[in-house]
Amino acid sequence: MHAGRNASEPGLIKVQEEIKSGKNVAKIVRKLCEENNLDPKQCRFWLIDNMVYMSENKSGAIVKFNRQTNTSLFSIPYSLHVLQIALVAFKNALFRKLNIMSGLSL
């Protein structure tokens, strides 16, 4: 999500399925910034879904993007996804390993 041409209008950029790695995601986002005349230095954070390829400390997309654009953006995890991860981990620790692909199963 980014501020559109008019700062009061939010805009969305849809990223098609690509090979999910920090390097590829950073490259795609940088390219989209260039194509849409978005200045990465005006960005403050990434709102992410906690995928490892996004936030990994040394090779995640955010680290790669920061290096490529000389910025220091940080991530804000999507709260409901964080809650789901915590609840699944809690249930797995108490009962058994859950076999769920997505969604919340209590």
Judged by average pLDDT, the poorest of 28-32, 34-38, 94-98 is 94-98
- Rounded to the nearest integer, the mean pLDDT of the chain is 74
Higher pLDDT, 11 or 77: 77
The answer to whether residues 47 and 1 touch, using CB atoms and an 8 Å cutoff, is: yes
Residue 102 has pLDDT above 90, yes or no: no
Q: What is the pLDDT of residue 106?
A: 44
Cα separations in angstroms, 86 against 3, 59, 71, 91, 103: 32, 24, 31, 9, 13
Q: What is the mean pLDDT of residues 17-40?
A: 83
pTM of the model: 0.56
